[in-house]
Amino acid sequence: MSYLALARKWRPKTFADVAGQGHVVRALENALGSGRLHHAFLFTGTRGIGKTTIARIFVKALNCEQGVSATPCGECPSCIAIDAGRFVDFLEVDAASRTGIDDIREILDNAQYTPASGRFKVYLIDEVHMLSKQAFNGLLKTLEEPPPHIKFLLATTDPQKIPVTVLSRCLQFNLKRLPQAGILERLTSICASEGLSAEPGGLQRLARAAAGSMRDALSLLDQALAFGNGAVRDREVAEMLGSLDRQHLTGLLEALARGDARGLMDQVRQLDELVPDYDDVLAGLAGLLQQIAVIQLAGADALESGEDTALLARLAGQMPAETVQLMYQIAVLGRRDLDLAPDPRTGFEMTLLRVLAFDQADSPAATMTSSAAAPAAAGSTAPAQTPAAVPAPKPQASAGLVGGEIRDWPAFVATLGLDAAARQLAANCALAAQSSSGLQLSIEPRNAHLLTESLKVRVAAAVNASFGDDRKVSFVIDKGVNDTAAARQARSEDERQRKAQDAIAADDNVRAMGELFGAEVVADSVRPVADTSSGKPANKK
């Protein structure tokens, strides 16, 4: 007996068997139950998610000899003939190969005749967007005034290419990609029913590679069974798919997190021996970084469970949140630039080195700005004026710590050497209480989103490193928190801004332009710059 592919063997035969498309199934079942049957239905969505499968079940529901219902019997001659593809009143048309007006005219000429054996004559036109303009025009006339015994079922992966005149005459159903968890559950069930040996890791790889398509998942399962001689093994599936072991990806991430360029190059050399697709590697890195960002900002519970959760949680605690965002952006843009590189490995290496270069670069000083005045009339432009130099605030020498106690929390925060994300949490806190055994920090409710476990741990570690002991650092949410580093910095910046505007207003050149040309100072263009009294250029370290 010839082998029947799993994608065909396990194709749903009833609406109850259709997975992941409940919104479409419900609408069709209601229409069949109420008798409110439109003459044209359009099913859209990516490949392998059930468009033609649902259409065939719908045809059975219309022509079952037990009557029109959402639960065709599947046993009458009509149902059996439809399943076998030999029902005389059900015609499937592949629009990819029959695109012209002559093909459509032949179909429509036969549409006027009543069904030979069924209740309705049904035309299923797959990939309908491939029809020519003339063919669409020919189809449109029948869609406008269809015979009562005709139903049109249209399916497409690209509905944007269908004329709006056709779209407006169809009921449209957009089928969704299936979630990875749903595909995994279905593959597991099929393997159990078939008595197949399948490792969960291998099935998970197949579900991920299917990218939302159940048909692709079943085809890949067939391929994995052939590759593994009747069994699905994780290592063999990885080899078949050309997948990288997650250890290679996490090794790259750990080297990036450490800022270890030499170790990173060692990882790349080991990776290159596997002759990988570097675009897939960057895609894998971006996927891991997205999961790490979810853990950092929403907690590990917000992540779908998987074998990598513990590892990703550890990396999330090691990497600053802003570094994760930077790495993700560079990985995504690096995929775009791979084709422009001298060769894929060079492009891949430069993408990773770009992460280190940006992450390790010093933050630039505040930029100096802009024109001080603009003319008020005649559309003319006044010459640009350099803003006055205003001295930047100097850090306090005591650093807020006196006699083993914190006397000035904002000054103390400046000495902790925190990364940007943890510094933001510390800067928005105020010291509520302290003792030799611990600190209590308070934060406004509007800033409560900063209280992630990762950031709290990093702040506590920096405080303990400064004291040289192991104090408990706790956080409470409270209103009226004023004495914070962020508030002090805001007040300082406001004062510097005020002094800069006063200096511009008192400048003789600015006054002269106002008197001669009617120029006015654009207040938003005035910015304080670094102090140049030392003789060093502004904004230079």
Dump pLDDT digits (tens) for 29-50.
999 989 889 999 999 998 899 9
Say which residue, 491 or 514, is predicted with more confidence.
491
Say which residue, 390 or 68, is predicted with more confidence.
68
Query: Is the pLDDT assigned to residue 283 strictly greater than 80?
Result: yes
Question: Is 232 within 8 Å of 224 (Cβ atoms)?
Answer: yes
Tell me, yes or no, whether 64 and 163 share the same domain.
Answer: yes
Tell me the percentage of the chain whose pLDDT exceeds 70: 87
Question: Is 429 within 8 Å of 481 (Cβ atoms)?
Answer: yes
Q: Which residue has the tokens 């807020």?
A: 400
Tell me, yes or no, whether 143 and 289 share the same domain.
Answer: no
pLDDT at 154: 93
pLDDT at 390: 40
The domain in which residue 436 lies consists of: 401-488
Integer CA distances (angstroms), 540 to 361, 525, 535, in order: 15, 21, 11
Token duo for residue 17: 């068997």
- pLDDT tens digit string along 349-370? 999 998 888 766 533 333 333 3
Residues whose CB falls within 8 Å of the CB of residue 140, separated by 6 or more in sequence, listed in order: 163, 165, 166, 169
> Any idea what the Cα angle at residue 147 is, between residues 142 and 151, rounded to 5°?
80
Tell me, yes or no, whether 24 and 145 share the same domain.
Answer: yes
Query: Is the pLDDT assigned to residue 252 strictly greater than 70?
Result: yes
Query: Is the pLDDT assigned to residue 540 strictly greater than 50?
Result: no
Q: What is the dihedral of CA 443, 485, 421, 323, to 10 degrees?
A: 170
> Any idea what the Cα angle at residue 154 is, between residues 148 and 156, rounded to 5°?
170
pLDDT at 2: 72
pLDDT at 315: 81
- Crossing angle of helices 200-209 and 214-227, in 10° steps, is 130
143: nearest Cα among 156, 128, 157, 130: 128
Distance CA 138, CA 133 (A): 9
Report the 10 Å Cβ neighbour count for 347. 19
Say which residue, 157 or 401, is predicted with more confidence.
157
Q: Any idea which of 111-115, 124-128, 261-265, 484-488 has the lowest mean pLDDT? A: 111-115
Provide the number of structural domains found in the chain: 4
122 in any annotated domain: yes
Tell me, yes or no, whether 124 and 79 share the same domain.
Answer: yes
113 in any annotated domain: yes
Q: Among the three residues 488, 511, 527, which one is the final residue of a domain in this structure?
A: 488
Distance CA 382, CA 373 (A): 6
Mean pLDDT of 153-171: 91
Domain with 187 in it: what CATH number?
1.10.8.60
164 in any annotated domain: yes
Q: Give the SS3 label for residue 215.
A: helix
Domain with 334 in it: what CATH number?
1.20.272.10
Which of 224-228, 323-327, 468-472 has maximum average pLDDT?
224-228
pLDDT at 100: 79
Tell me, yes or no, whether 90 and 164 share the same domain.
Answer: yes
Distance CA 517, CA 502 (A): 21
Report the 10 Å Cβ neighbour count for 353. 16
pLDDT band at residue 321 under the 50/70/90 scheme:
confident
Q: Among the three residues 206, 222, 241, which one is the final residue of a domain in this structure?
A: 241
pLDDT at 421: 85
Say which residue, 511 or 541, is predicted with more confidence.
511
Taking phi over 0 as left and psi of -120 to 50 as alpha, with beta for the rest, 491 belongs to alpha
Tell me, yes or no, whether 144 and 271 share the same domain.
Answer: no
